[in-house]
């Protein structure tokens, strides 16, 4: 989906109408509103298989004109994710062959491996009897030359031959066009006018091919740069906390999971803590002040931690740490250091719970929950800031859940009974009221 969105955005913003992209399924993005299926085109099939190529003359499905289409694979992380196409009009391609060779007596062809003529110079000596170069040379009586040329092309080799055209001896050289799949360049010149500029056409053609490759490379670099930029933006959203500028809880989970997956033979701990009555700070001093305090807390914790430890803000004023050392004195020292960090002379109080990791495969969220449960048990307890999670918390949690279930059953079974304690005026001895009491009388002695 990200790739398709990029291809579509590129087609909308591209200033070159002759350059268009296609995804791996052959859906070409010609402009923002036009999509064309090119999956059946040979040039696309070759490119998606990793073969750069230029098509034979074909008819445009947009304007019906004759065109040639250059196509190369589009890579990302060493995988082909689509193709890039460059359109050349029939006029543009033929202009590449407008240069005269050898004092206007030379000429050339571009053919495929089966001998069919794709392009040729507009020249009086470029005599054509058919659309197949092999057939033309054969009909001029050059049987052996045709056989050798076919064998060389089949082996993807360069070669040359002497043949006669209308009684004039001609020297012809042929070579594969390396940048273009299944294309061969044939240059011919009468043997009596061979001169030093015999390779000028090859230079012109290769200059065009180099330009085409450069365009493709620029497009690929743009795609890779844009993809990396998007990745950095997404990572910042997912892994950078917008209040503290430090780790998010998602980043914390990733880092802890990576460490535990390595099965390092060390003891680790989860520390969960929050600020007591932090809601009061936000309400009285404002959220800007509250956010500033959260940043100061995270900064102090980051300095306090040892290598291999990590921390994050879960939400609000809740923080979590992954530690190698969770000695109570060490944690108390941290809280002492950050208790008076505020410029408003506020004294911060913390409640912290520690969970000792015994099973590396245990769910990390469950570990954090257990540390948080332990921290909640000392909320409001004077001079106690740290408590370690133990089995009694499991038992208490199970007992609380059982009580919740029994309360629902008691209401359903009418097990709550009202009793009234009379209130008597001691001076008059008269009944002036009563104190209502509710007693829970279970029918099956559950309590």
Q: Which of 234, 235, 250 is nearest to 364 (CA)?
A: 250
Per-residue burial over 233-268, b = 16 or more CB atoms within 10 Å of its CB, e = otherwise: eeeeeebebebbebbbbebbbbbbeebbeeeeeeeb
Q: How many residues does the chain have?
A: 447
Per-residue pLDDT at 160: 77
Per-residue pLDDT at 272: 94
Helices (H), 73-139: 90-95, 133-139
Per-residue pLDDT at 298: 93
- Domains, the chain, ordered by start: 2-88 (3.30.450.20), 96-194 (3.30.450.20), 249-389 (3.30.70.270)
Q: What is the DSSP letter of 193?
A: G
Per-residue pLDDT at 268: 94
Per-residue pLDDT at 364: 93
Separation between Cα atoms, residue 39 and residue 5, nearest integer Å: 19
Per-residue pLDDT at 265: 83
Separation between Cα atoms, residue 46 and residue 73, nearest integer Å: 9
Per-residue pLDDT at 196: 45
Q: Which of 117, 355, 381, 375 is nearest to 108 (CA)?
A: 117
- Going by DSSP bridges, is the β-strand pair 159-165/117-120 parallel, antiparallel, or unpaired? unpaired
Overall pTM > 0.85: no
Q: Which of 179, 16, 18, 6 is nearest to 82 (CA)?
A: 6
| Kind and range of the H or E run holding 319 | strand 318-323
Per-residue pLDDT of the chain (447 residues; tens, 9 = 90+): 567 777 777 767 766 777 788 888 888 877 666 788 888 888 889 889 988 888 878 888 777 888 888 888 888 888 888 888 888 887 877 776 555 444 456 677 888 888 888 777 766 556 566 778 888 877 777 788 888 888 888 888 888 787 776 667 777 788 887 666 778 888 877 766 554 444 565 677 677 777 778 887 877 877 777 777 766 666 666 688 989 989 999 999 999 999 998 878 889 999 999 998 888 888 888 888 889 989 999 999 999 999 989 999 998 899 999 999 988 889 988 888 887 776 667 778 889 999 999 999 899 999 999 999 899 888 877 777 899 998 787 777 778 888 888 888 888 888 888 899 999 999 998 999 999 998 888 876 655
Q: What is the DSSP letter of 127?
A: -
């Amino acid at each position: 989906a990200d790739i398709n969105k990029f291809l579509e955005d590129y087609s909308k913003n591209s200033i070159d109408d002759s350059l268009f992209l296609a995804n791996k399924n052959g859906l070409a993005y010609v402009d923002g509103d036009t999509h064309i299926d090119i999956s059946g085109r040979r040039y696309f099939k070759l490119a998606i298989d990793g073969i750069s190529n230029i098509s034979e003359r074909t008819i445009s499905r947009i304007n019906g004109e004759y065109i040639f289409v250059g196509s190369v694979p589009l890579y990302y992380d060493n995988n082909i994710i689509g193709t890039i196409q460059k359109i050349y009009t029939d006029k543009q391609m033929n202009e590449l062959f407008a240069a005269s060779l050898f004092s206007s007596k030379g000429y050339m062809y571009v053919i495929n491996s089966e001998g069919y003529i794709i392009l040729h110079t507009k020249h009086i000596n470029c005599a054509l009897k058919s659309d197949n170069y092999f057939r033309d040379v054969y009909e001029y009586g050059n049987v052996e030359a045709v056989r050798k040329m076919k064998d060389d092309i089949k082996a993807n080799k360069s070669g040359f031959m002497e043949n006669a055209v209308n009684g004039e001896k001609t020297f012809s050289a042929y070579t594969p066009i390396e940048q273009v799949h299944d294309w061969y360049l044939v240059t011919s010149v009468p043997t009596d006018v061979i001169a030093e500029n015999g390779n000028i056409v090859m230079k012109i053609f290769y200059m065009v091919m180099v330009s085409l490759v450069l365009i493709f490379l620029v497009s690929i670099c743009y795609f890779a740069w844009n993809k990396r930029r998007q990745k950095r933006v997404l990572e910042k959203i997912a892994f950078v906390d917008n209040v503290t500028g430090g780790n998010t809880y998602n980043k914390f989970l990733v880092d802890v999971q990576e460490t535990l997956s390595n099965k390092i033979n060390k003891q680790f701990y989860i520390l969960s803590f929050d600020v007591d009555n932090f809601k009061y700070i936000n309400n009285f001093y404002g959220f800007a002040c509250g956010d500033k305090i959260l940043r100061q807390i995270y900064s102090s914790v980051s300095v306090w931690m040892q290598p291999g430890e990590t921390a994050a803000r879960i939400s609000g004023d809740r923080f979590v740490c992954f530690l190698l050392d969770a000695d109570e004195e060490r944690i108390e020292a941290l809280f002492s250091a950050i208790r008076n960090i505020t410029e408003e002379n506020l004294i911060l109080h913390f409640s912290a719970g520690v969970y000792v990791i015994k099973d590396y495969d245990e769910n990390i969220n469950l570990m954090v929950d257990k540390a948080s449960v332990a921290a909640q048990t000392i909320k409001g307890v004077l001079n106690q800031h740290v408590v370690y999670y133990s089995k009694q918390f499991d038992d208490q949690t199970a007992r609380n859940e059982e009580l919740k279930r029994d309360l629902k059953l008691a209401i359903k079974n009418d097990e709550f009974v009202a009793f009234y304690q009379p209130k008597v005026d001691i001076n008059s001895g008269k009944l002036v009221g009563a104190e209502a009491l509710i007693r829970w009388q279970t029918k099956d002695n559950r309590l």
